[in-house]
Structure 1
Amino acid sequence: MTAASMFFLLFVASSLLLTLFAARRTHSSGDFYTAGGQLPAWQNGLALAGDYLSAAAFLGAIGMYVGQGYDSLVYAVGTLAGWPLLMLLLADKLRALGRYSVAEVLNSRFDDPRVRLLGIISSLTVTVCYLIVQLVGAGKLLQLLFGLPYLFAVGLVIVLMVLQVALGGMLATSWIQMVKAVLMLLCALVLAGGVLSRFGFSAPALFARVAQIDHGQLLLPGKSLANPVEALSLGLGLSLGLLGLPHVLMRFFTVADSRTARRSAGWATCLIGLFFCLNIIIGYGALVLLAPESRFHDAAGKLLGGGNMAALHLASLLGGNWLQALIAGVAFATILAVVAGLAISGASTISHDLYALWLCHGKADPKREWQLSRLASVVLGVVALLLSSSFQNLNIAFLVGLAFAIAASSNFPVLLLGLYWPGLRVSGVLAGGYGGMLAALLCILTGPAVWVGMLGHAHPLFPYANPALFCVPFAFVAAWLASAGWRRVKPVDGNGAGADTASGHGN
């Protein structure tokens, strides 16, 4: 048995063991959705960090440093900037409402089926897009490491995901996210320490070596940031997209009170900031150390397996097969944990938002809802398997962009306005939510990733790959115009007084 197989089986067995322990403590829909709502701040902060630090943040980010150098920093900075905003704007407000999801938060103010449906559609769209990306990554990783057929590899991940979510719910997902976050930080520390050891444990010495490559261009903005509008739009999409991701927002319902929710976001901010700082050292270290090693390159001089394999090659260089196997195992555990977090968010949207809130108007049997949430995780897994098989050979970058663009342009504006603006009406929620969603979809489909990259046209209709700079303001303006333009003759009661319509109900 190879070292990679040993670590792979170890992480699978550990996740199943944690799931079994969590299953014994999951007895209700509240336990399933929110882990009982009693996680301490440091645990929920670890789980938040684990939820967000996907394989893209680990393997993908390091590969971007090797391929693009400085340009990859915008992803780290844009991502990190969203966490303080999340802590200041949404964390305590969401927890104070005591709801499970985006749709229920909106429903708490606007008791209108159209608003519930908006929350359901936007949340499911973001979740499914993100889930497909993670499953394609998992399938390709297992295919590369173990030679497994793609569909078998993705099917294996989905089986583990369904077992974890259906049996252990949010508690199992939280525990696995915590373990995964700790493992990722430990691996990052080991790799960063190994890189620095090659430069006398001096970061300036590492960057001095990077400055000698290509006349120091790798320490300066490159092609992808040459257009300031593109760079600003990307950063805005990453920052505000975080504030609209359903599987991240759901984590603020797993703690006891608003203060703990804020502290959870603070823990997550520090942990993610530390991880991205270590990634800078690892990424530039891989750029410098792998370049002269011909064994990691093909005949054309390209990195074997592509840029996403840079971290694994660096681990092999620094610590041999065992360290490479550990990094590969942690990468798989990372994908499995993120997939589980997305699955429980999607299952919550189907069972709680679609069934309990929309179809049953909030009068569903809790036991039946809990049973449906388990079935929803299976259905979601089957749908994700079919979709991921369709996208496995296509450029899926637009799915990531679409997920963040919809989260930033649809979920975030209506959540922020719904929590802070008394003048928001149902018409404003619908205009802002659907308007932002459709604008993001249209910009992505007519932009460079799809219109040129996938459809083969010479020039994109929308010139920017990242539409957040245009779609987010559009959503806010649409919500304001629809709310400000809302007019209705107030019904008159028996005393001749106008009925109060300021609450936002019944537009």
Structure 2
Amino acid sequence: MDGNQILTSGLFLLVVLLTIYVTLRASRQTSGTDDYYAGGRGFSGLQNGLAIGGDYMSAASFLGITGAIALYGYDGFLYSIGFLVAWLVALLLVAEVLRNSGRYTMADQLAYRMRQRPVRTAAATSTVVVSIFYLLAQMVGAGALVALLLGIDSGAVKNLTIFVVGALMVFYVTVGGMKGTTYVQMIKAVLLMAGSALVVVLVLIQFDFNISDLLGSAASNSGSGQAFLEPGLRYGATLTSKIDFISLGIALVLGTAGLPHILIRFYTTPTSQTARKSVLWAIGLIGTFYLFTLVLGFGAAALLQKSDYDVAGNLAAPKLAEEVGGGIGSTSGAVMLALIAAVAFATILAVVAGLTLTSSMSVAHDVWNPVFRNGEATEQEEMKVSRIAAGVIGLVAILLAIPAQSLNIAFLVALAFAVAASANLPAILMNLFWRGFNTRGAVWSIYGGLISAVGLVIFSPVMSGSETSLLTGVDFAWFPLQNPGIVSIPLGFLFGFIGSVTSKDPKASERYIELEVRALTGAGAEGALKH
């Protein structure tokens, strides 16, 4: 191992040790489910805003979007726009009302006026599926990063890295709970913003802070000329790709408001006012970061050759850091590469912890206790089941991430957004704003959106039929779009409507006014839904 690799490994180890230390410290303050699930509801608006940013600005944002822009120019930047605009939907539609009307999980809000068992089971199933889709992207990024830094393009090294990340995420969740996870996310948000800002400044220095020169150089170096700066390089050449772009946009804009690991962050604040403040802080951080991706992506296109990073573009950001730091072989370049890669690794660790915590607590709180224990499980028993579920979910994510390493991670996350927008968002919105919504509608909406989204992905070019598919050498793709959102999201709403109008549920209608008052005013929000 040469000096540069020792430096890189040292920074990686430092990041991991820091997050482990924070998790162990947090574990001493975690005693019951309120601490384990919601961090004791003691985080300020700034703290929770940092944590939301840390949860949201994933490896897909940093590595995947930079790579997508480097490969496809204008069309790649559409991911940044979609992710950012999605926050307005989350703020306007769900942030405050969800905080007021729930307790720990998305299912708490849904089950408040419904029959508990079917609704909680459906919501937990959706939460786990969305989380696993999202986890795939983070683990693929981790494998690519470590292989790059060790200079070994070995499948075995990538697979081992994926396993290590899986083990770490289970550790964060089982030991630190929500408090440990939140502090890890806050640290990661600060590191990511600082690291990104540093690379952005170094890139702009190369072009005397002239954005026009940067874009011109990117276009000429991309091999696509002016087309690199115009719509249509990836989406728009055919009718199918145009529809695929619309589908992607819908999924990105609506998906955030249905992402379980983002939704539960609103429960960690003491008041609804603090929840609003945390979203505003998060928007500021996230908005700034996605402006950074514009410079990072076009900077990679301008200063690197496509042969410098992998075919999916996932390594464009760390390679760009190495280039602007001094170039390949230089000590300063190695320092920048190690620094940005360590930041990206911290990003991955923070996001996988949040995802695993969300899905494992949903299994314990929404399935084990109400379905198998009739609501009689103790807090300690619930937490034990949550920890076991974290291990199982981690193992499933590891096994699925290994064959997914050829896909761009921003693209993988877009699939998770589509599933979330199809299965979760319709049920959440109809429950909050439609008195006639009931138990059958909720169950049909969640399962209908979930099955249609996942089913269409299975029978799309993502799974088979192309060189970059998960399964090569076979072709059972009859659905032409790579993102199912344009079909599966309306189906989620349609199933919810049909289920509701074809059944009667007086309790759901009677309790709507109570839920509406709680959601809009915050009255009685503390300790909500214990019954």
CA distance in structure 2 between the partners assigned to 1:112 and 1:479 by the alignment: 17
Partner SS for 2:30: coil
User: Partner letter of residue 367 of structure 2?
Assistant: L
| Mapping for residues 340-489 of structure 1, pairs under 5 Å | 340-389=353-402, 391-392=404-405, 400-453=413-466, 454=469, 460-487=477-504
Correspondence for 1:37 among 38, 41, 49? 41
Of stretches 365-374 and 233-242 in structure 1, the one that deviates more from structure 2 is 365-374
Residues 411 and 433, structure 1, Cα contact 8 Å, conserved in 2: yes
- Give 1:56's aligned residue: 60
CA distance in structure 2 between the partners assigned to 1:222 and 1:27 by the alignment: 54
- Give 1:10's aligned residue: 14
- Give 1:285's aligned residue: 299
Correspondence for 2:226 among 210, 216, 226? 216
CA distance in structure 2 between the partners assigned to 1:397 and 1:87 by the alignment: 22
Residues 343 and 380, structure 1, Cα contact 8 Å, conserved in 2: yes
| Mapping for residues 81-100 of structure 1, pairs under 5 Å | 81-100=85-104
Given the superposition, is the C-alpha separation of residues 223 and 290 from structure 1 closer, same or farther in structure 2, using an over 3 Å criterion? closer
Given the superposition, is the C-alpha separation of residues 469 and 323 from structure 1 closer, same or farther in structure 2, using an over 3 Å criterion? same
User: Partner letter of residue 235 of structure 1?
Assistant: G
Identity level (%)? 39
Is the aligned partner of 1:185 residue 2:198?
A: no
Offset of 1:239 from its aligned partner? 1.5
Normalized against structure 2, the TM-score is what? Answer: 0.86
CA distance in structure 1 between the partners assigned to 2:114 and 2:296 by the alignment: 48
- Give 1:494's aligned residue: none
Offset of 1:136 from its aligned partner? 2.9
Question: Any unmatched runs of 5+ in structure 2?
Answer: 326-332, 513-531
Is the aligned partner of 1:502 residue 2:509?
A: yes
Offset of 1:135 from its aligned partner? 2.0
Question: Any unmatched runs of 5+ in structure 1?
Answer: 292-300, 489-498
Correspondence for 1:302 among 291, 304, 307? 307
Residues 82 and 240, structure 1, Cα contact 8 Å, conserved in 2: yes
User: Partner letter of residue 476 of structure 1?
Assistant: F
Offset of 1:166 from its aligned partner? 1.4
User: Partner letter of residue 234 of structure 2?
Assistant: S
CA distance in structure 2 between the partners assigned to 1:385 and 1:467 by the alignment: 24
User: Partner letter of residue 44 of structure 1?
Assistant: N
| Mapping for residues 120-269 of structure 1, pairs under 5 Å | 120-146=124-150, 147=152, 149-212=157-220, 214-226=224-236, 227-269=241-283
CA distance in structure 1 between the partners assigned to 2:186 and 2:354 by the alignment: 12
CA distance in structure 1 between the partners assigned to 2:347 and 2:408 by the alignment: 22
Q: For 1:305-355, what per-residue CA distance to the aligned partner results, in whole angstroms no more than 9, with x for missing partners?
A: 442222122111111110111011111111111111111112101211111
Given the superposition, is the C-alpha separation of residues 449 and 398 from structure 1 closer, same or farther in structure 2, using an over 3 Å criterion? farther
Q: For 1:238-277, what per-residue CA distance to the aligned partner results, in whole angstroms no more than 9, with x for missing partners?
A: 1111111111111011001111112211111111111010
CA distance in structure 2 between the partners assigned to 1:139 and 1:375 by the alignment: 25
CA RMSD in angstroms comes to: 2.3
Given the superposition, is the C-alpha separation of residues 400 and 28 from structure 1 closer, same or farther in structure 2, using an over 3 Å criterion? same
Residues 426 and 504, structure 1, Cα contact 8 Å, conserved in 2: no
User: Partner letter of residue 11 of structure 1?
Assistant: V
Residues 174 and 387, structure 2, Cα contact 8 Å, conserved in 1: yes
Residues 413 and 476, structure 1, Cα contact 8 Å, conserved in 2: yes
- Give 1:297's aligned residue: none
Residues 136 and 388, structure 1, Cα contact 8 Å, conserved in 2: yes
CA distance in structure 1 between the partners assigned to 2:185 and 2:93 by the alignment: 24
Residues 79 and 235, structure 1, Cα contact 8 Å, conserved in 2: no
Residues 218 and 303, structure 2, Cα contact 8 Å, conserved in 1: no
Offset of 1:57 from its aligned partner? 0.8
Given the superposition, is the C-alpha separation of residues 41 and 160 from structure 1 closer, same or farther in structure 2, using an over 3 Å criterion? same
Offset of 1:284 from its aligned partner? 0.8
Given the superposition, is the C-alpha separation of residues 259 and 350 from structure 1 closer, same or farther in structure 2, using an over 3 Å criterion? same
Offset of 1:28 from its aligned partner? 1.0
Given the superposition, is the C-alpha separation of residues 351 and 70 from structure 1 closer, same or farther in structure 2, using an over 3 Å criterion? same
CA distance in structure 2 between the partners assigned to 1:502 and 1:280 by the alignment: 48
Given the superposition, is the C-alpha separation of residues 487 and 338 from structure 1 closer, same or farther in structure 2, using an over 3 Å criterion? closer
Q: For 1:286-308, what per-residue CA distance to the aligned partner results, in whole angstroms no more than 9, with x for missing partners?
A: 111124xxxxxxxxx62244422
CA distance in structure 2 between the partners assigned to 1:331 and 1:187 by the alignment: 9
CA distance in structure 2 between the partners assigned to 1:46 and 1:73 by the alignment: 23
Partner SS for 1:149: helix
Of stretches 453-462 and 325-334 in structure 1, the one that deviates more from structure 2 is 453-462
Given the superposition, is the C-alpha separation of residues 287 and 93 from structure 1 closer, same or farther in structure 2, using an over 3 Å criterion? same
Offset of 1:436 from its aligned partner? 1.2
Of stretches 187-196 and 386-395 in structure 1, the one that deviates more from structure 2 is 386-395
The number of equivalent residue pairs is 486
Given the superposition, is the C-alpha separation of residues 442 and 375 from structure 1 closer, same or farther in structure 2, using an over 3 Å criterion? closer
User: Partner letter of residue 149 of structure 1?
Assistant: V
User: Partner letter of residue 317 of structure 1?
Assistant: E
- Give 2:527's aligned residue: none
Partner SS for 1:464: coil
Offset of 1:225 from its aligned partner? 2.1
Offset of 1:461 from its aligned partner? 2.0
- Give 1:329's aligned residue: 342
Partner SS for 1:281: helix
Residues 451 and 461, structure 1, Cα contact 8 Å, conserved in 2: no
User: Partner letter of residue 13 of structure 1?
Assistant: L
Given the superposition, is the C-alpha separation of residues 274 and 460 from structure 1 closer, same or farther in structure 2, using an over 3 Å criterion? same
Given the superposition, is the C-alpha separation of residues 287 and 228 from structure 1 closer, same or farther in structure 2, using an over 3 Å criterion? same
